[in-house]
Structure 1
Amino acid sequence: MTMGRQVGAGPRRVLFLGATGTIGRATVRALVSHGHQVVCLVRRPADFAIPVGATERIVSLADPSSVTRDGIRGEPFDVLVSCLASRTGLPDDAWAVDYRAHVNALNVSRAAGVTHVVLLSAICVQKPILAFQHAKLAFEAALIASGLAYTIVRPTAFFKSLSGQIDRVRRGKPFLIFGDGTLTACKPISDDDLGRYLADCLDHDERRNRVLPIGGPGEAITPKAQGERLFALLGRQPRFKHVPVVLLDVIIAILATTGRWMPALAAKAELARIARYYATESMLVLDPATGRYDAQATPSTGSETLFDYYARVIRGEAVAERGDHAVF
């Protein structure tokens, strides 16, 4: 079997998971621009075309034999890159995708010669209380124990996760914030900046065998600051609607109780728990000594800010593809 090339050895053959999402597409574009040969394993025909220069192969990621037969096809690969994530964060989905599908791909790709794995994870696993966080951490642990070189990237927040209220504000409605709007902060990063960072991990020795938190450029921003800038870009006076966090607690309690008899409501309770987590926890590096989030310790990269993106969406130069990142 052909062994994987070493860092900096020129173009590599890349096995890619998660190419149908916005971050996946951006990462594939960056890899192709670097001259790498990218084969994208997808669960169904993509709603959006795979970037030019990459190859699409349809597989069942739940079935290792399908990944081998339909994805690998007896060919050698050097690197496994994954931007794959569960769509809902619900327990069954999270363990099936964030853990088992990744374990399957890890085992099969190792047999195909892969020696380096670049994984897009999430910074929220620093303080895990939700099913999808535990599933992500379980695979991170499996990857670290695999003996392969690894690069685990934990971004702080995505533009699409913070763009859900643009249309709402345009329609004259107030910007929704939890509490006073300063409970949390993040350093959001664009798809393209994150895609370039992930692609560059193939060629940076200092990023191997490390867990890397990363954010976008500029200072950490709060939800209140997001709303203020959005109103300014629209030329309007800021209007906020304050939502008490305790309201989420009440909703969770009701859904969890009724969910004992109605599974659909139990799922909604978990989604409410996810919403509460993001409403109360900052997406920044967590200082284990103090238990506080540290904006200064959160690295920044890239060039596009969230407010640059807001301006492009308002001008009609960009479309907010939110998908399962919708909150409001």
Structure 2
Amino acid sequence: MVIVATRVFVVGATGYIGKFVVRELVRRGYEVVSFAREKSGVGGASSMEETRRQLEGSVVRFGDVGDMRSLREKGIRGERFDVVVSCLTSRNGGVKDSWAVDYEATKHAMVAGQEAGATRFLLLSAICVQKPMLEFQRAKLQFEKELRESGMTWIIVRPTAFFKSIAGQVEAIKSGKPYVMFGDGELTACKPISERDLASYMVDSLEDEGRHNRILPIGGPGPAITAKEQGTMMFELLGREPKFKRMPIQMFDVIIPVLSALAKLFPKLEDKAEFARIGKYYCSESMLVWDAEKGEYNADMTPEYGTDTLREFYRHVLEHGLEGQELGEHAMF
């Protein structure tokens, strides 16, 4: 039952999570306008017709969220909205792209929404911003700060890992290759959440006033799982003995300084250095709530939601492939 204002403007609607958020809003009876690029999806492979099919039930409008004029004229169109939902995220985590999307474009959506009368803003962020070391994290945090100061009612959802983000080795393992992990495979852990469960949680949060003006970390059904346990699970589902390849995380301590130094001479290498920093971060930092008092990640402090399990997800993709789970430029993560 919809108990809040019902006219919703969604940006980032064609992203991995955005599509499911739009469908959940439509399912619950909201009047949804989805704003998308003419060529969207991984590598811009989706046509306008395909985008309309994916976002069926919503009104789909096309334009550029990075361009305020386009957003106002092609998206908002002088109409009134009650809620803005942003599922925007940078395409690859590069320095300029992070600030262009995670900060500037998302801020455009907030400003345009305020002009259209919207009083609520639901933001899809990321749990990793709690310990910022990367440019996209700093860009997200800057927008979060401005959103909290905007005067709007805000809901910031910070999910842990998505199922797709820990599925990158599925095809390799199916073909007989070992599972690649850093160190002993127990350096990090997460409580991954499915796109369907996350979308449901986000819309629940829009409707639950107790979650308004709050930062909401969220994971899927526990317990927390390490990289080694993820690999073991896939081999078990295939009926094979686990086979691992261990990589030294110290390799990043060589790669990062070299690329950073070269980037000062050759600016085009700036993103390469950032991608190496991203790689190290995801191989060394858990996607769980950070306990600042103890200086450690805490699985028990990481809330759980939903019913979709990683085991069932792995079972499905091992049998049917990764269609619909394409990583695109996020494959490096």
By the TM > 0.5 criterion, same fold?
Answer: yes
Identity of aligned residues (%): 50
Alignment of 1:200 onto 2:204: yes
Which one of 84, 102, 108 corresponds to residue 106 of structure 2? 102
Which one of 6, 10, 13 corresponds to residue 16 of structure 1? 10
Report if aligned partners of 2:128, 2:137 keep a CA contact under 8 Å in 1.
Answer: yes
Distance 1:95 1:200 in 2: 29
CA deviation after TM superposition for structure 1 residue 261, in Å: 2.2
Alignment of 1:325 onto 2:330: yes
| Residue identity matched to 1:81 | V
Note the 1:108-257 alignment, pairs <5 A: 108-257=112-261
SS at match of 2:225: coil
Alignment of 1:73 onto 2:68: no
Alignment of 1:31 onto 2:35: no
| Equivalent position of 1:4 in the other structure | none
| Residue identity matched to 2:271 | A
Report if aligned partners of 1:30, 1:195 keep a CA contact under 8 Å in 2.
Answer: yes
CA deviation after TM superposition for structure 1 residue 317, in Å: 7.0
Distance 1:150 1:188 in 2: 24
Distance 1:310 1:144 in 2: 38
CA deviation after TM superposition for structure 1 residue 246, in Å: 0.6
| Residue identity matched to 2:140 | K
CA deviations 1:101-124 (Å, max 9, x no partner) are 111111111111101000000000
CA deviations 1:116-145 (Å, max 9, x no partner) are 000000000000011100000000000000
CA deviation after TM superposition for structure 1 residue 327, in Å: 3.0
| Residue identity matched to 1:80 | V
Which shows bigger deviation, 63-72 or 277-286?
63-72
For structure 1, which runs of at least 5 residues remain unmatched after alignment? 1-6
Distance 1:245 1:317 in 2: 29
CA deviations 1:65-119 (Å, max 9, x no partner) are 2211111111110100011100111111011111111111111111111010000
Change in 2 beyond 3 A, CA 1:260/1:318 = closer
Alignment of 1:84 onto 2:88: yes
| Residue identity matched to 1:192 | R
Aligned residue pairs total 321
CA deviation after TM superposition for structure 1 residue 318, in Å: 5.6
Distance 1:327 1:176 in 2: 14
| Equivalent position of 1:42 in the other structure | 36
CA deviation after TM superposition for structure 1 residue 324, in Å: 2.5
SS at match of 2:10: strand
| Residue identity matched to 2:327 | R
Note the 1:260-279 alignment, pairs <5 A: 260-279=264-283
Report the aligned-residue RMSD. Answer: 1.4
Distance 2:302 2:183 in 1: 24
TM-score (norm 2): 0.93
